[in-house]
Amino acid sequence: MLPVDQVQLSFDPQTLRILNAVLGLVMFGVALELKVEDFREALKTPRALALGLVGHHVLFPAMTYVLVWVLNPIPSIALGMILVSSCPAGHISNFLVHLSRGNTALSVSVSALSTAVALFMTPLNFAFWGNLHPVTSGLMKQVAMSPWEMLEVVVLLLGVPLVLGMWVARRFPGFAQRVRTPMKRLSLLVLAAFIVGALAANFRHFLAWIHLVVLVVFIHNLLALATGYGLSAAMRLPERDRRAITFEMGIQNSGLGLTLIFNFFNGLGGMAIVTAWWGIWHIVAGLALATFWKRRDPGGQAQALGPGRARA
């Protein structure tokens, strides 16, 4: 076993619960600006929904397999990359799409479907690509996912905050209008605090081994984001839809990945470090891209948000 694989990151169920609470708060803030009509419009774009699912669960794992051949990282990091690419979309993507003035309803729809489909696609992709590559096949173990845990993710992280936020916006429109901007700022502050805390708890490990994963994760994440936008543009989707698909492909549920690593691989150091760094980096890169897009009008589609909402 390589020295990096003996590293044990500071990660426990309590950390994941805190992250889930943060994501629930973020989702509530996003839902304050959504209406039922937004989802009806999203369902009228089956091409975008299909691209989000196929891109995330088929194309990205396949591209990751090729990238592992090209970069040739150590086996545990290679397997971590394959596991990350096999996970469903990370729910922070909804906030990033909202911040970038993209199609948030489409993003939420793809995230929910991606999470539900991950019940069988995550183990399938991980087993197929992990066993196919000669470098990673020696580390492989069968990964099974609980249907109830995946249902809990969909209901608690998406369903409850989404319904509650939309109800508040409909029942108390004045209150919702006043708290929208403060909620965005609070969400960013809480996310930043979580990132700093997670990094501080494992700083010595990251300092010692980060050189093994920085470039790998940067290229991996950039490939996902660029492919999402490129495919959306090739299909001539509206700009707001392109932004949504970009984040749905480029933001992974790394929290689920870490849970699987600690449950099935005893926290194998290389896998854990690359997955944990993914969890930090994709938020940093996502916030940077969302902020860039926020300042650029997505075009005529922006008016679909209604007066004032396009400027949020």
- Find out whether 242 and 229 touch, Cβ atoms under 8 Å: yes
122 is a domain residue? yes
How many whole angstroms separate alpha carbon 131 and alpha carbon 142?
A: 10
The pair of three-digit structure tokens given for residue 246, joined into one six-digit string: 């970009």
How many whole angstroms separate alpha carbon 312 and alpha carbon 305?
A: 10
| % of the chain surpassing 70 pLDDT | 80
4 is a domain residue? no
200 is a domain residue? yes
pLDDT of residue 1: 60
What's the pLDDT tens digit per position in 84-123? 999 888 778 888 998 999 998 898 888 878 877 877 888 8
Q: Which spans in the chain are helix H?
A: 13-31, 36-43, 46-54, 60-71, 75-86, 92-99, 104-132, 147-152, 160-171, 173-201, 203-209, 214-234, 239-250, 254-264, 269-294
How many whole angstroms separate alpha carbon 167 and alpha carbon 35?
A: 9
How many whole angstroms separate alpha carbon 218 and alpha carbon 250?
A: 11
DSSP one-letter string for 5-28: GG------HHHHHHHHHHHHHHHH
310 is a domain residue? no
In CATH, what number is assigned to the domain containing residue 279?
A: 1.20.1530.20
pLDDT of residue 151: 63
Tell me the mean pLDDT in the region 250-276: 82
The better pLDDT of the pair 293, 194 is held by: 293
Is pLDDT above 80 for 134? yes
Is pLDDT above 80 for 146? no
The H-or-E segment that residue 136 falls in is none
311 is a domain residue? no
pLDDT of residue 242: 95
90 is a domain residue? yes
Measured N-to-C along each axis, helices 75-86 and 254-264 cross at an angle, to the nearest 10 degrees, of 130
Q: Which of 23-32, 53-62, 142-151, 266-275 has the highest mean pLDDT?
A: 53-62
15 is a domain residue? no
List the domain range (segments joined by +) for residue 25. 21-303
Coil, strand or helix at 37: helix
The H-or-E segment that residue 110 falls in is helix 104-132
What's the pLDDT tens digit per position in 62-84? 999 999 999 999 989 999 999 99
Sign of CA dihedral 121, 124, 126, 130: negative
Tell me the mean pLDDT in the region 238-260: 89
φ and ψ at residue 83, rounded to 5 degrees = -65, -45
Phi-psi region of 308 (alpha: psi -120 to 50; beta: other; left: phi over 0): left
Q: HSE on the CB side for 129, CA within 13 Å?
A: 29
Phi-psi region of 150 (alpha: psi -120 to 50; beta: other; left: phi over 0): alpha
271 is a domain residue? yes
pLDDT of residue 78: 93
| Long-range pairs for 147-153: beta carbons < 8 A, 24 or more residues apart | 147/119, 150/115, 150/116, 150/118, 150/119, 153/115, 153/256
The pair of three-digit structure tokens given for residue 289, joined into one six-digit string: 């891209």
Cα angle 111, 202, 15; round to 5:
45
How many whole angstroms separate alpha carbon 309 and alpha carbon 71?
A: 43
**What is the count of structural domains for the chain?**
1
Task: With cut-offs at 50, 70 and 90, classify the pLDDT of residue 178.
Answer: confident
How many whole angstroms separate alpha carbon 245 and alpha carbon 227?
A: 9
The pair of three-digit structure tokens given for residue 273, joined into one six-digit string: 């470090």
pLDDT of residue 191: 67
How many whole angstroms separate alpha carbon 297 and alpha carbon 101?
A: 8
pLDDT of residue 136: 85
Task: With cut-offs at 50, 70 and 90, classify the pLDDT of residue 311.
Answer: very low
pLDDT of residue 105: 87
The pair of three-digit structure tokens given for residue 110, joined into one six-digit string: 């793809």
